[in-house]
Amino acid sequence: MLKTIILLTGNIQQQRALCALLKEHNPALSFRRALTLDELTGLEPEVLRDSRLIAFTSDVIVPAATLGRLGHGAYHFHSDPPDYPATAHFALTDDDQGWDATAHTMVERVDRGPIVGIEPFPMHDKIAARKLEQIAFERLAHLFWRMSRRIACEPGPPQRYQSPGAPPRARRSRTANSCEILPTSTQRN
């Protein structure tokens, strides 16, 4: 039985807001909070067994062993679409017309779990990267709000998201390549 929601977020204010929303749907839930990997992995096995983990805008990589101990799954909410992980600047330089906030099941390979929710929104011409990130966070909060009753009340995993459009573009290799830091040659005079 789902008894506990573990919230893994970047700050305490987010945790409070998410707890309040989930508690409205299921007053019997208890909550555990974690800001760091150490706090998460320090939770007791009996707590994990009756819990669901929600990572909301967290960059903590949850170990496979911890994911395996969760009785009701783990879900990651992030303000990037599946095809542009953490790369708002690429969307702007590629002149894309839309963006998505995403929720997916957490699995051992980071950001590779089945998508359980998407909140798409249009990108306006000449939008700045910071503004895109702000709107994406607002849409992510809306996605969480839409899914909150299922998260708080349904013990099984959320249904896999069925995309009405084209499949995501493969941008992971571009992201990885752009993040690679090449050694510079040193010249001696």
Q: What local confidence, expressed as pLDDT, does residue 80 receive?
A: 73
Closest alpha carbon to 115 in 138, 88, 85: 85
For the chain, percent of residues with pLDDT exceeding 90: 37
- Give the pLDDT confidence of 28-44 residue by residue, as tens digits: 999 999 988 999 999 99
Binned at pLDDT 50, 70 and 90, residue 182 comes out as very low
- Give the pLDDT confidence of 56-107 residue by residue, as tens digits: 988 899 999 999 999 999 999 987 766 655 555 555 555 556 677 888 888 8
Sorted by where each starts, the structural domains of the chain and their CATH numbers stand as: 4-179 (3.40.50.170)
- Give the pLDDT confidence of 97-131 residue by residue, as tens digits: 667 788 888 888 877 788 888 888 777 667 777 88
Q: Does the structure show a pLDDT above 80 at 8?
A: yes
Q: Are 158 and 117 in contact (CB under 8 A)?
A: yes
DSSP assignments along 127-173, one per residue: --HHHHHHHHHHHHHHHHHHHHHHHHH--SPPPPP--SSPPPP--HH
Binned at pLDDT 50, 70 and 90, residue 165 comes out as very low
Q: What local confidence, expressed as pLDDT, does residue 6 receive?
A: 94
Q: What local confidence, expressed as pLDDT, does residue 113 receive?
A: 83
Q: Does the structure show a pLDDT above 60 at 3?
A: yes
Binned at pLDDT 50, 70 and 90, residue 159 comes out as low
For strand 74-78 and strand 51-56, is the pairing parallel, antiparallel, or unpaired? parallel
